[in-house]
Amino acid sequence: TFRQWRQFTHQDEEDRGKRQVLVLGLDGAGKSSMLLGLLPGQPAARRGRCRPTRGFNFMSLNAPACQLDFLEIGGGEDLRRYWSDYMRRTHVLVYVVDSADRSRLPLAKAELHRLLGVGPQMPVVILGNKQDKPDAVSVSELHDALSLSSVTEDRKLFLLAAQLGSEGVESQIADSETQSSPAADDSG
């Protein structure tokens, strides 16, 4: 439950060896598939067959510099209102966007900018997912569609493109972790 997640993050927020990664995005963006892709030995065929997340998923990975604790919260309209509640204890936000669903890019943009307005100045990884689809927007089109040039310069922002079976997402997220400071350090 969400209560268990809050207790978990509260207990470990002093532990500098762990980093909380919040994975958000509209329903159908591919958040669960992306997380499955981070697990060693997961076949690409299985990654594309995830059921929609109705609540949340949690998984932990050991990266070279720290332990990454991923919390994915479903992207349905009924769950989006809770997203900002989890920003305070998060070290990195991974925002997954369906690059092939052009009709939902304005909504993805609105939700992203709402989160950026609420959350602390944590690094943000924006994952343009489903780049293997024929109607997918390019990375530069995604940058424009999400109005990323309007994001303040003091925020670390990473824009990545991914497709089913692509490699390297884990290392990109881990790289952003090494540049993050713990969310509890709000003193500066």
The response to whether 131 counts as a known ligand-binding position is: yes
Name the one residue in this structure whose structure tokens are 């959350």: 119
The C-alpha atoms of residue 18 and residue 21 are separated, in whole angstroms, by 10
Name the one residue in this structure whose structure tokens are 């500098």: 16
The response to whether 27 counts as a known ligand-binding position is: yes
The response to whether 35 counts as a known ligand-binding position is: no
The response to whether 75 counts as a known ligand-binding position is: yes
The response to whether 26 counts as a known ligand-binding position is: yes
The response to whether 55 counts as a known ligand-binding position is: no
The C-alpha atoms of residue 123 and residue 156 are separated, in whole angstroms, by 5
The response to whether 29 counts as a known ligand-binding position is: yes
The response to whether 30 counts as a known ligand-binding position is: yes
The response to whether 31 counts as a known ligand-binding position is: yes
For CA atoms 36, 25, 76, 101, give the dihedral sign: negative
The response to whether 129 counts as a known ligand-binding position is: yes
Annotated binding site for Mg(2+): 32, 53
Annotated binding site for GTP: 25-32, 75, 129-132
Annotated binding site: 25-32, 53, 75, 129-132
